[in-house]
Amino acid sequence: MDQLLKDAEKIKSLEIQGASNVASKAIDFLSSYAKRLKSKDIEKCFENLYKARDLLISTRPTEPAMKNGLKFIMNKLEQEKDTCIAEYISDIIEKYKNQYYDMLQNSKKRIAEIGARRFPAAGKKFIVMTHCHSSLVTGILLEAKKKGKDFKVINTETQPRLQGRKTAQKLLNAGVEVIHVVDSAMRWAVRHYQVNLILIGADSITSEGTIINKIGSRLLALVAHEEHVPFYVASPLLKYNPETNLGILETIEMRDPEEIWENPPEGIEILNPAFETVSRRYIDGLITEAGIFASSHVSTYFAKYYPEMV
């Protein structure tokens, strides 16, 4: 368990970032923990695995892709409980870990292909804006570049951890022209550069079609609404949280105030919300492995594509 606690801290401390990366690492950590289990008692093994699953889930409250992956593995394991032997549990977990990993990777590839089709053919001026760092959004942009689409990207620095720099660097390495702005210049950039499309990722999607993403996302959505710019969200269906269909509310993670100010004056209260909601009314389309549709339809598509996780 000591090693698992160290692994879990890597997720909690944001050493591991990005919803897909967090999900992949979490199922890796569960698999590694299973390999270290020495008990031959099947009930004891399952008890320890559920504790490990809950520990990993607790590290980041707004990560459905991670929750869905861990629950997928344990649900599959439960189906084989009556026939499996304790010493082979790690092999079973490894099999389903790889299956879930393939689901994530295949969905990302499909989303990149679908999203790139929203870009016009080469020769037409096209400006895209994004916020924070999303491997899915970056994947769409790189796929569009690969297909010869002609576009420029405006991205925000994304305070307080400056994840926008990661997006900018990846795009620059691929030969994409990037304009980097401070978060508070969102509206100015949209108007000044006549942005054609705004594209962000998501950390979570609720049953009502509300998405939860990095703080500042709703501000950008409101700018898009005001300036009549299409606003799209790229996300695999695996970031849908089925529990919200039962009335459970997503929580907004509050992070360490020291991310904002390391040595603040005494008496000041510093708040550091990591995420915020974007209502479905501001989302023109959700780009998923199932295609592009209104975000309010996410539960229907999730049940169709991943019935075992409903």
Active site residues: 132, 203
Q: Which two tokens stand for residue 115?
A: 């999203």
With CA atoms as reference, report the closest residue to 53 among 17, 83, 79, 78. 78
- DSSP assignment string, 224-272: HHHHT--EEEE--GGGB-GGGGGTPPPPPPBPPGGGT-SSPPTT-----
Q: CA dist 283 to 33, 104, 171, 215, 287, Å?
A: 40, 23, 24, 16, 11
Q: Please identify which residue in the block is written with the tokens 């879990």.
A: 8
Q: Which helix (H) or strand (E) holds 278?
A: strand 275-278
With CA atoms as reference, report the closest residue to 140 among 19, 282, 210, 235. 235
CB 199 within 8 A of CB 144: no
Q: Which helix (H) or strand (E) holds 130?
A: strand 127-130
Q: CA dist 90 to 69, 74, 131, 212, 291, Å?
A: 16, 12, 39, 34, 35
Q: Which two tokens stand for residue 272?
A: 């550091």
CB 15 within 8 A of CB 60: no
**d(Cα 100, Cα 103) in Å, to the nearest integer?**
5
**d(Cα 239, Cα 14) in Å, to the nearest integer?**
18
Sheet containing strand 197-200, edge to edge, reads: 177-181, 152-156, 127-130, 197-200, 231-234, 285-288, 291-293
